[in-house]
Amino acid sequence: MSEKALSGFRITVLLIISAIMIATGIEFYNHRNFKEGTVAGPSVTSVKKLSDYSSIMKGSVNDTNVYIIDSGKPGGTALILGGTHPEEPSANLAAELIMGNVKIDSGKIMIVLRSNKSASLVTRPGDAYPLYYNIKTDWGSKKYRMGDRWSSPLDSWPDPEVYVNYPSGQLLAYMDIRNFNRTWPGRLDGLITEKTSAAFIELIKKENVDIFIDYHEAELEYPVISTIVAHQKGSDIAAMSSMMLTATEFKIGMEFSPPSLHGLSHREVGDFSDAVSLLFETPEPFLDRVRGKTNEALLLEGKDEFVMRAGEAGLLYEQIDENGWHIDTRVARQVASTQMVLDTWSDFNPDKEVRMTSLPTYSEIRENGVGSYLLNPSDYDKNLIYYE
């Protein structure tokens, strides 16, 4: 190739690459800056920021909204976290459903929709994750950012060779320094995810949180699934809730939080505060490694022939059939489990009751769909809209 032809080739290639870079760059930029308009429900009495409890979060991407529903009557305080792992959408959707629809007779509930917002600002293009997902509602569809398990490397980079959990000293995988469910109880001078955990511990202590619930989803290949993982302080509540739910609504197990497994909320929140810590897991076939086409339909409908085939081969810890695990069912499980756990907590602790009413039942959410319970931002005053 002559020098002149080579120069022309260089410019052509650079133009094509620049076009690809601009097109993808715009997509990534828009995803990172996409705002989810969320209505503070009629029962919400105030909305605070995480930095109101811990100044280290001031100006941070993870200075998330904390929705507070205070009955004004004596009772206990519950903290519900959605969005710990933003690739598990039933978590933030269940938190939003409760925040928008709940009424409480006693005590106080604090709800966070995007606990690790940074992780919701990035996806896994290499795993073919969609950038967004849409939930059908009576007033159109509501668009959400699809996220990842780990905080964005744009907010925390580079990772160490090995992540050493503080203060346990337990060695964990390098990227888990960005995993919000491996950084508990956190470190005030650590990286952003460790700081977020530390800030939540400060919130829990300042608000005297009695019961802490962390929503999650799991692949069917993973043994900790369809269960409530409980710190020993909450084993009685989890066991009773598991029995009652299994007898009346759906099958759900109960597992003890291993005392030597550090960094997870069900262990460290219980160890480092007075709160009882529980973690809920629902099945999400989208996360299974043997899944087929990875798209929004799989994320929301939870149907996959390859995961089904793995089940037929006895490789799964949860059942799956042609009906899959629809997002409505997964959200319904989270909401019904929360209702049962808080009812049980209130029965066991009459001086610290947190009584929720008016939430849709498991059957109603499955029948009507989670979208039926999402509030339309255009129906409400701008002062009631918060951005996640």
Contacts with other proteins by CB under 8 A lie at 1, 6, 9-10, 13-14, 16-17, 20-21, 24-25, 28-29, 32, 154, 157-158, 187, 189-191
| Smallest gap from residue 285 Cβ to other proteins (A) | 27
Nearer to other proteins, 189 or 312 (CB): 189
Helices vs. strands in the chain: H and E counts, helices first: 9, 16
Sort residue 140 into left (φ over 0), alpha (ψ -120 to 50) or beta. Answer: left
* Relative orientation angle of helices 192-206 and 265-272, to the nearest 10 degrees: 50
| Smallest gap from residue 24 Cβ to other proteins (A) | 7
Nearer to other proteins, 10 or 73 (CB): 10
Burial of 149 (0-12, 13-18, 19+ CB in 10 A): buried
Nearer to other proteins, 153 or 377 (CB): 153
| Smallest gap from residue 195 Cβ to other proteins (A) | 8
| Smallest gap from residue 56 Cβ to other proteins (A) | 9
| Smallest gap from residue 221 Cβ to other proteins (A) | 29
Nearer to other proteins, 22 or 173 (CB): 22
Name the nearest CA neighbour of 294 among 143, 149, 126, 141: 126
Name the nearest CA neighbour of 56 among 198, 166, 176: 198
- Judge if the upstream peptide bond of residue 160 is cis by omega within 30 degrees of 0: no
Coil, strand or helix: which one is 246?
A: helix
Calculate the CA 7 to chain-centre distance.
51
Identify the helix (H) or strand (E) that includes residue 96: helix 89-101
Nearer to other proteins, 20 or 315 (CB): 20
Nearer to other proteins, 139 or 157 (CB): 157
| Smallest gap from residue 76 Cβ to other proteins (A) | 35
